[in-house]
Structures are given as C-alpha cells and as structure tokens.
Amino acid sequence: MQTNTHILVVEDDIEIQSLLAALLKRNGWSVSLASNGHEADAILARSRIDMVLLDVMLPGEDGLAICARLRSVSTIPILILSAKGEDIDRVVGLELGADDYMAKPFNPRELEARIKAMLRRSRMAVKDSRVQAAVLYFGDNWKLDIRKRELRDQKDVQIHLTPAEFDLLRTFCERPGLTLTREQLIELTQGRSSGATERSIDILISRLRRKLESRENAPKLIHTVRSGGYEFIAPVSEQREL
C-alpha cells in the first residue's frame, strides 16, 4: 500500500469526486478535493502534492488551461480525466503537459494502475537523472568535491557544511532543474527511516541559502516551488570550463 502520497483531485462533479476519493484512499493515498482552478491553487499553495487528477470541463478556467499553467511552474505528474475521449482531445492534453489522459467513464482498476505507474515513473526520474562525478561545479564557480566532501567558493576558500547540509547540496547538484518535494529530499539524503521531518528540510534549505546566497549580488540558487518542493536552478557541470 502506498503511503505518504498526496493526490489532488480537481473535479466539479460531486459524485465523481466521492468515487475518486474513495478509490484513492483505499490505496492508502491522502486526498485533497477541489472543484475549480481557484480552489486547486489554494491547495497547491499550502500543501505538498505528489500528483494531480484533473477534469477538463470545469467552471471558469478549464482543465486544459490549468494543466498548461501548472506545467509551466512544476513537474508534478498530471493525469487528465475527461468525458471527451477523441484522439484530438487526448493529443491536446498531452501537448499541454499532461502525463496521461483517461476518458470517462473509466475503469477504476485501470485508473489505479495508471496512477501507480505515474508515481513510480516520477520517483524513478528523480533517482535516474543524476549528474554523477567526483567534482561538480555550479553557479559562479562554486566547487563541490564529492570524495573529499568539501565545498569551496569562488576564491577556493572552503565553506564549512554539516554532513546533512553537504548531503542536501549534493542531492541538488546531482539533479539540477528538477522539482524535488520535501519527502523526496528526505528519502534521497537521509532515508525514510531516519525520522527526519519536512520542517527539518526547510531548516537545512535556509542554512544552505545563507551560505550560498549571502554575498552581495549573489545569484539565487535554490528556488521554492509553489506546489511544495525545491528546485536547484544553478547550472551544474562536471568540470570547469576553460
């Protein structure tokens, strides 16, 4: 059974909302419900969401517009559910950034299987997109030595990092441009059995920012993503350009 997974359902039909909520909760997933884009935005702003089930025919802003807007700021998996089952509707949805598309009425078991596959692919993407090297350079000539577990600044001065800070920075440098949820950061740096909390990740992020971004005119390196995660936005390379 999947745990610690939070799925947002954006659907204005109360009966379908209830059906989806029951199906998702049966698998051990947490569920938040929204009836329109405004409600969905409010939930995304305050909660960590791992996946979105999105209806197309919504009051006000339709599901396709919400999909395009959400995809512009997040890599969160999106599965569109729609009464429109034509190929052209499916293509449009996928082109706007959806990861999958199912026509209504849908088979509950098939929906469960697709959700599990999407969540599995999302987690594998985080693990498989690593930049693996002994020394990584990022931003304006920061140097992270993986073997020595050292961080050096532009003047080759070593910057003290705690073990937890180093592991977090390494995780970011190995996955530049990816949105990582707090749960993913805990798993990748300390493991789920460590007892670490999402709040402890926020504290580590704050400490890293002070050490990396405190210089005058220093570029921002760690971006807070509204859907509940962080993204390392600095360019990363395995060797310094000559």
Q: What is the pLDDT along the chain (242 residues), one digit of tens a residue?
A: 345 789 999 999 999 999 999 999 999 999 999 999 999 999 988 888 889 999 999 999 999 999 999 887 777 889 999 887 666 777 888 888 888 889 888 899 999 999 998 888 777 766 666 777 789 999 888 999 998 999 999 899 999 998 889 999 999 999 998 888 888 888 888 765 556 778 888 999 999 999 998 877 888 999 998 767 899 999 999 865 43
Residue 236 structure tokens: 């990363």
The number of beta carbons lying within 10 Å of the beta carbon of residue 47 is 13
**Confidence (pLDDT) at 42:** 92
Q: What does each C-alpha distance from 23 to 2, 17, 103 come to in angstroms?
A: 13, 10, 17
**Bridge partners of residue 52, in order along the sequence:** 8, 78
Burial group, residue 223, by CB count within 10 angstroms (0-12, 13-18, 19+): middle
**Confidence (pLDDT) at 74:** 75
**Confidence (pLDDT) at 141:** 86
Contact yes or no for 51/115 (Cβ under 8 A):
yes
| Closest of 179, 70, 69, 84 to residue 123, by C-alpha | 179
**Confidence (pLDDT) at 153:** 92
Domains contained in the chain, CATH given: 6-124 (3.40.50.2300), 135-239 (1.10.10.10)
- In 3-state terms the chain splits into helix, strand, coil percentages (rounded to 5) of 40, 20, 40
Query: Kind of pairing, strands 222-225 and 179-181?
Result: unpaired
16-22 long-range contacts, Cβ below 8 Å, gap at least 24?
16/55, 16/104, 19/108, 20/53
